[in-house]
Amino acid sequence: SQQGEEDPQALSIQEGENATMNCSYKTSINNLQWYRQNSGRGLVHLILIRSNEREKHSGRLRVTLDTSKKSSSLLITASRAADTASYFCATQGAQKLVFGQGTRLTINP
Amino acid sequence: DTAVSQTPKYLVTQMGNDKSIKCEQNLGHDTMYWYKQDSKKFLKIMFSYNNKELIINETVPNRFSPKSPDKAHLNLHINSLELGDSAVYFCASSQALGVGYGYTFGSGTRLTVV
C-alpha cells in the first residue's frame, strides 16, 4: 500500500517553538501533499510537493521530500496556538490520493 | 461563499434506514470525491467522479450509491444503514482528474447510526 504513515502520532509543544512531523510511504509516488484538519472541520490543503522536488516553502511551512527514503517532513516554524490541529500527509501515485492517519499537534500557550 | 458544501452536517438515524448526503462545489472543478473518516481519523476514498462519470469505486458495499447529476454535484445515498457506517463522510473536489492537484474538502457529514 502507498499509504503514508505519520510520526509522531501526537506532538505537544510550546507556542513559538518549531514543530516537525514526518511521513513515510511504501510505493513510488507522483506527488505528496500535506493537509491540516481542525477539530470538527474538513481538511485544508497546505502544500503539494512533486516527486522531482526536494523542498518547498509556503509561509511558515517547509516541506521536504526524500524519494530514496520514501519519506517527507513538514516543519512549522514559530508555532502559534492557531496551528493546533491534525496534520495529514497524502500520497498520490497514478490516480488516488491516499491519506495517512495524521499527527495530532497541540500548541500550548 | 463556501467552495464545497455538504448537507446535512449531522445525521442521526436508526439501523436499516436509507439516507442521502448532498455535496455541491462552486469552484468549477471537474472531479469530485467521497471519503470516509473513521473514529481513528483514518481517511479512505470511496468514490470519485470526473464530469459525471464514475472513475474510482473502491471496495465499498453496494448499499452505497453515488450519483452525480452534473459536475458540480455529487450525492451519496446509503441503503439499509448499519452501525458500522457511523463515521464522518467528506466530499472533496479537484480541478481535474489526474495527478498534481490539491483537493478542496467540505466540512463533513457526521453520520451516527443507532
Residue A92, Cα to own-chain centre: how many angstroms?
14
The confidence score (pLDDT) of residue A1 equals: 46
Please tell me the total number of residues recorded for chain A in this structure.
109
Find cell 481517511 and name the residue: B43
Instruction: Place B104 in a pLDDT band, splitting at 50, 70 and 90.
Output: very high
Instruction: Place A93 in a pLDDT band, splitting at 50, 70 and 90.
Output: confident
Find cell 522531482 and name the residue: A52
- Nearest C-alpha in B relative to A87: B41
Instruction: Place A2 in a pLDDT band, splitting at 50, 70 and 90.
Output: very low
pLDDT in tens, A20-71: 999 999 989 999 999 999 998 999 999 999 999 999 999 999 999 999 999 9
Instruction: Provide the β-strand partners of residue A91.
Output: A32, A98
d(CA B113, CA B17): 9
The Cα angle at residue A86 between residues B20 and B10, in degrees rounded to 5: 25
Q: Report percent pLDDT > 70 for chain A.
A: 98
User: In chain A, what residues touch B90 (CB-CB under 8 Å)?
Assistant: 42-43
Question: Looking at chain A from residue 28 to 87, which residues have their Cβ under 8 Å from any Cβ of chain B?
Answer: 30-31, 33, 35, 37, 40-45, 48, 50, 86
Q: Are A79 and A19 in contact (CB under 8 A)?
A: yes
Which of A31, A44, A99, A103 is the best residue to mutate to test the B interface, defined by the most B CB atoms within 10 Å of its own CB? A99
- Nearest C-alpha in B relative to A94: B99
Rounded to an integer, the average pLDDT of B78-90 is: 97
